[in-house]
Amino acid sequence: MGGDLTGSQVGIGGKVVQIQADGFATVLFMDGAEMGRAERRPLARTVQARRSLSALGRERELARLADAVDAAEPVQVYGPSGIGKTTLLLHATGRGTLGTATAAVEGTVLLSARGLPVEEVLQEIFLATYQVTGLHLPAQAQRRSLLAALRVLVVIDDLDCSADELADLVHALPHCVVVTASGRMSLTGGCTIGLRGLPWPAALTLFQDALGRPLTAEESAQAERAWQSTDGHPGRLGLVAAYLREAAEHGFPPEVPPADGLPLLVPKLMAWISSAAAGLLRQLAVAGDSEWSTALVEALPGGTAADVEELVRARLLVRTEARLRLAEGVATALEENQDDSRLPAVAGAVADWLARAEPADAADEVEVVTALVQRAADAGLDTLVARLARAGAPRLMLGLRWRAWGRLLDAGLHAAKRSRLRDDEAYFTHESGIRALCLGDVAKATALLSAAAALGVRGGEALRELLNDSPPPPDPGTMTAQQPAAPPSSAPAGPWHHGLLTGKALLAAAAAVAVAAFGLTAAFGGAGTPEAGPSSSASSR
């Protein structure tokens, strides 16, 4: 697929959003016979193991986690950033003993929920456990029914949600054992495991591992003082350990500041790395604490694998599986002297990467993309906002990141209007109308598509008139799930464009059922993944 998205589509229920040759999206309505079937994927019992945590002081937490999973209880591991939640989960799932006493568990699903709403997390669980034709997902109600039949161990890292949202997620997986990691405790009715700092023996091992040798008496005293002042926080101790190693290599005395002065270590460490690696670190800091893929990092100006390895060794960059993020405290330390001078180059490189990326790869970078769009908007760089949003929006849509898709469309439209970027305004107005139609907001879709037509988008005015002529939407309670209306005998089977239809009635009927078919505005606040149900056949644009 790469840079050309023409013909690319994603379907949910009987609806398909497809990219046309001009880059604009259209909504197609499918015959029920064309809707893909979902079949179970084979699942492994374990994931790839990490290094042993036996020396890192988490034996008690690992035992509690294993006992709770064996008892089929939902579990939440919680604690501040950098405390070791991800490492704990990856080790626990990788060593092959988690859930072995639970006969109901048929396999393990491990995923990151970083930056995702709960409904998109459930969507990712569905895609990990079921195979679908192309990327045509069943409607939300059917997906939930299929999820309810699962009997797997679901391990979710970086889940940021409310107590009610977490309860909904657990309720949606009634026969699964759900283990989550979050920044704060929000689970009720299960086992909660709060992570605290490492005990001194484990912290000492961390220092010795970082230095590759036993500590000198002076280093040991400095390390113990750092352990006490940071309450044993492993992320902060890692920064101190890197400093002690580099100080020894460069002949400096090991003088570690107290916990509130740890950000002072960042510029000292940066002075001991290459200028290329330091420049790359400053570029990454433009997106704050966002996680990056290695491929996207290496797409930045001057970004190389060697620079990445140098930053990881210096503990300024943390590698988590295939992802990279700034180490604890680095973003804060760099923000004090950070201006927007690097923003155009970083955002431009990300936009160029997005323009040739597969939608699934772009979806993985949703945190970086939205952070850069927001920063560019705050800086008043409207042309940059529009460029980045236009590159990212269709790929996030195809990658099923519909909340982020909406954020990019909103930011792009605001920037285009403010700077009178007419072509961009037409694009974002039209795509916002398409998204509103998918989410069931026919009135908003009508207004936006009419505005797009006034800006010169072909087809928008015709759709607006058809939507205005449509009857009031039926009561969603009267709709019969998974029983799409048959297409007219004169129309071709499967998806088709509204230009092939002979009258207004069919499209009007399709618009009328849109609210019932995509009725997710309450659950998502109008900003989430569409709940697509069955409907008549038609399309927009």
Q: Mapping DSSP to helix (H, G, I), strand (E, B) and coil, where does residue 144 land?
A: helix
Asked if residue 416 lies in contact with residue 425, where contact means CB atoms within 8 angstroms, the answer is yes
Q: Which of 20-34, 156-170, 202-216, 495-509 has the lowest mean pLDDT?
A: 495-509
Flag whether pLDDT at 515 surpasses 60: no
Asked if residue 61 lies in contact with residue 196, where contact means CB atoms within 8 angstroms, the answer is no
Asked if residue 23 lies in contact with residue 457, where contact means CB atoms within 8 angstroms, the answer is no
Q: How far is CA 531 from CA 142, 162, 406, 518, 526, in A?
A: 10, 21, 15, 5, 11
The structure tokens listed for 505 are 């009635």
Rounded to whole angstroms, the Cα distance separating 416 from 426 reads 9
Q: What is the pTM of this model?
A: 0.82
Q: What is the mean pLDDT of residues 153-164?
A: 95
The angle that helices 402-418 and 366-378 make with each other, rounded to 10 degrees, is 20
Q: What is the mean pLDDT of residues 332-350?
A: 88
Flag whether pLDDT at 388 surpasses 70: yes
Q: What is the mean pLDDT of residues 444-456?
A: 92
Asked if residue 308 lies in contact with residue 294, where contact means CB atoms within 8 angstroms, the answer is yes
Q: What is the mean pLDDT of residues 512-527?
A: 32
Q: How far apart are the two ends of the chain, measured CA to CA in Å?
A: 23
Question: Tens digit of pLDDT for each residue in 251-285?
Answer: 888 778 776 777 788 988 999 999 999 999 999 99
Closest CA to 284 of 301, 266, 264: 301
Question: Tens digit of pLDDT for each residue in 46-64?
Answer: 666 554 445 478 889 999 9
| Helix, strand, coil percentages for the chain (3-state, nearest 5) | 50, 10, 40
Would you list the DSSP string of 198-226?
PPHHHHHHHHHHHHTSPPPHHHHHHHHHH
- Predicted pLDDT at 448: 94
- Predicted pLDDT at 261: 72
Question: Tens digit of pLDDT for each residue in 134-153?
Answer: 778 888 889 999 999 999 99
Mean pLDDT of the chain: 81
Asked if residue 433 lies in contact with residue 422, where contact means CB atoms within 8 angstroms, the answer is no
Flag whether pLDDT at 30 surpasses 90: no
Q: Report the DSSP pairing between strands 323-326 and 292-293.
A: antiparallel
Q: Write a three-state SS string for 255-306.
A: CCCCHHHHHHHHHHHHHCCCHHHHHHHHHHHCCCCCCEEHHHHCCCCCCCHH
Asked if residue 517 lies in contact with residue 38, where contact means CB atoms within 8 angstroms, the answer is no
Q: What is the mean pLDDT of residues 478-493?
A: 29
Q: What is the mean pLDDT of residues 102-108?
A: 75
Q: How confident is the model at residue 102 (pLDDT cuts 50, 70, 90)?
A: low
> Up-side HSE of residue 465: CA atoms within 13 Å toward CB?
7
Flag whether pLDDT at 499 surpasses 70: no
Q: How confident is the model at residue 157 (pLDDT cuts 50, 70, 90)?
A: very high
Q: How confident is the model at residue 533 (pLDDT cuts 50, 70, 90)?
A: very low
Question: Tens digit of pLDDT for each residue in 460-473?
Answer: 555 555 555 554 44
**CB neighbour list of residue 184: distance below 8 Å, 6 or more residues apart:** 78
- Predicted pLDDT at 119: 93
Q: Report the DSSP pairing between strands 9-12 and 136-137.
A: parallel
- Predicted pLDDT at 104: 62
Which residue bears the tokens 């955002």? 347
Closest CA to 14 of 32, 39, 38: 32
Rounded to whole angstroms, the Cα distance separating 124 from 363 reads 12
Percent of all residues in the chain with a pLDDT value above 90, rounded to a whole number: 55
- Predicted pLDDT at 151: 93
Would you list the DSSP string of 170-196?
HHH-TTSEEEEEESS----SSEEEE--
